[in-house]
Amino acid sequence: MFLILSAIVIIILYYYSTRNFNYFAKRKIKYEPPIPIFGNHSQVVFARLTEIERISAIYNKYQNEKVVGYFRGTTPDLIVRDPELLKHIFNLDFLQFHQRGLGRDPKYEPVMLNLFSADGDRWKLVRHGLSPAFTSSKLKSMFPIIVECAEKLEQVAMKLALQKEDFDFVDLSSRFTIEIIGSCGFGIEMDTMNNEHCLFLQLRDMIFIKSIWQIVLFGIRDLFPNSIIKRIPISRPDIMRIINEIVNGIRRQRLENNITRNDFMNLLLEIQKNGKITGESLEETDENGKPKQVEIEFDDAYVSAQLFIFFAAGFETASTAMSFTMHQLAYHPEIQRKIQEEIDTVLSKYDNKLCFEAVNEMTLLECAFKEAMRLFPPGGLTTRFCAKEFKVPNSNITIEAGTRLIIPIQAIHMDPKYFDNPTEFRPDRFTPDATKSRHKYVYLPFGEGPRKCIGARLGIVETMAGLAAILRKFTVEPSPLSTRDIVRRKTSYLVQAVEGGLPCRLTLREQYQEKKCENAQEVPNHETLKKTKVTQRYSCYANSELTKGSQLVESIVELS
């Protein structure tokens, strides 16, 4: 009897898990042959490959297709390979593809109310409310704060160069971007909110590194998306608790001291004070076919969710881009020298001071940054959800409503059809002439269209300021621990991460050698950046001496 029941269970499970496996064959779409239960997703479920690596492999296998079928368990998704189709998805037919389709309900995970994760009218209204924080004038007004952070970065770099220490550049760039987020985003100062400063650092690992439990939850949700498991939150419970503490601490401090700051946090509090955001609907029309007026109540949950995404997007993505750019320059000294010469020339026009105008003139540096983002985009893929049936132009393919589309950014960036010898680091790919000659939708580090990253320009400017601050005085070189080829961390989430960090070393440029003695007395002691293993990368923040407000913390990261 037991054997019979077991056989019946196996047959039922097999039938259930393979029932959709003829989906693409019936539609004459090429697809990767699936296996029962897992489809094409087993290596991702068991953290053998990142989803970016798995999708890239399939993208490369089917080189002549506009789309390729992919089974996420039993669910059929489409991998988009055609830049012309991407133009429709991101822009021309945006109203049919405005949803990311992440499948996580804010009712169970309030953090998903953030701008990146929100869909439909909620996304449109939140984006409209936050747009004033990212204008060109706002960016220019906050640049002096970025310069102050860059000067502290120079101090730390000086100590590392003089002591000839190897260190993890991911760690150094993380400290720099955290300080910018704290100062420009939340106006947090070390002497006013000391207890909350370390909360940002606690958030980092909670957000970007999957726990074993999260790996299991992601796997089950991918394989059984319509099961009761979708009601179980994936994000760690402590994330919202810590974020709420930060929000309440900032609000209390500003009310008690009658402080008004022109920063991101102030914008959120002003929106909340007004109560509601109103605008035209993306999804609903009246009897005349015109968009209906809709509104959302911008409460504490919305404030905390936007704080979460501002931190997540502003800190880790910029840090990843900055550190990988330096990694590439360490292995390409001839390109590094040309960029240093450009920095010298540009700064000489501005009394050798870093300023907004100077950074905007550093075209070679920006090309190098963009090329690094091509090779290793922090967000290596994105998704869109088809809201209603869509006929793919110039093909016999119809995308059904409810289909998730996977845009494999990393794979497109590495496609030799668009970038010859794609593994080579060649900043000249991003000169104005080269950019004009290339299809707009084959370089997508920030996405494109109405859902393009709202903080893209801030990310570019803060990263370039940090790079310029280092390269004006120092030369970056590989350390004995460095490896040219990186390994992606399998448990990373949202943003790609490098296994083992990016170890390197700095040396003073010749024109600054004479100043090294006097500078050596001015730079704070700094031991933790010598650590290069990922498991050690953020452990320094737990050191009791650092969290008590040591000279190191005051000099490097006011938030830490």
pLDDT digits (tens, 9 = 90+) for 364-398: 999 999 999 999 999 999 999 999 999 999 899 99
What is the DSSP code string of 57-72? HHHHH-TT-SEEEEEE
- Residue 494 Rama label (left phi>0; alpha psi -120 to 50; beta): left
pLDDT at 537: 33
Confidence band of 199 (pLDDT split at 50, 70, 90): low
What is the arithmetic mean of pLDDT over 453-470? 93
**What's the pTM value of the predicted model, to 2 decimals?**
0.87
Neighbours of 442 (CB within 10 A): 16
Percent of the chain with pLDDT over 90: 52
pLDDT at 558: 33
Lowest mean pLDDT across 80-84, 194-198, 363-367, 431-435 = 194-198
As a residue count, the chain comes to: 560
Contacts of 209 (CB under 8 A, 6+ apart): 489, 491, 492, 493, 497
pLDDT at 200: 65
What is the arithmetic mean of pLDDT over 248-276? 85
Is the pLDDT score of 523 beyond 50? no
260 compared with 280, residue with greater pLDDT: 280
pLDDT at 6: 66
pLDDT at 345: 97
256 compared with 479, residue with greater pLDDT: 479
With 0-12 / 13-18 / 19 or more C-beta atoms within 10 angstroms meaning exposed / middle / buried, residue 545 is: exposed
3 compared with 371, residue with greater pLDDT: 371
pLDDT at 2: 66
pLDDT at 323: 95
Is the pLDDT score of 552 beyond 80? no
pLDDT at 230: 78
103, 114, 205, 390 from 117: Cα distances, Å: 9, 6, 19, 23
Is the pLDDT score of 547 beyond 50? no
pLDDT at 554: 33
Confidence band of 242 (pLDDT split at 50, 70, 90): confident
Q: Which of 207, 292, 284, 200 is nearest to 243 (CA)?
A: 200
Q: Which CATH superfamily is domain 50-516 in?
A: Cytochrome P450 (1.10.630.10)
pLDDT at 500: 87
Query: Is 453 a known ligand-binding residue?
Result: yes
Is the pLDDT score of 193 beyond 60? no
**Amino acid letter, residue 157:** A
Confidence band of 534 (pLDDT split at 50, 70, 90): very low
What is the DSSP code string of 223-269? HSTTSGGGGS--S-HHHHHHHHHHHHHHHHHHHHHT---SSHHHHHH
For the record, the structure tokens of 446 come out as: 């920030």
Hey, CA dihedral for 393, 397, 402, 406, is it positive or negative? Answer: negative
Report the distance separating Cα 21 and Cα 75, nearest Å: 9
What is the arithmetic mean of pLDDT over 334-348? 97
What is the arithmetic mean of pLDDT over 191-217? 64
pLDDT at 363: 97
What is the arithmetic mean of pLDDT over 459-480? 95
What is the arithmetic mean of pLDDT over 268-293? 89
Q: Using an 8 Å Cβ cutoff, are 188 and 182 in contact?
A: yes
Rg (CA), the chain: 24
DSSP state of 31: B
Report the distance separating Cα 367 and Cα 377, nearest Å: 14
Is the pLDDT score of 412 beyond 60? yes
Per domain, the residue ranges of the chain are 50-516
What is the arithmetic mean of pLDDT over 4-32? 81
Percent of the chain with pLDDT over 70: 87
pLDDT at 189: 55
Is the pLDDT score of 11 beyond 80? no
Confidence band of 56 (pLDDT split at 50, 70, 90): very high
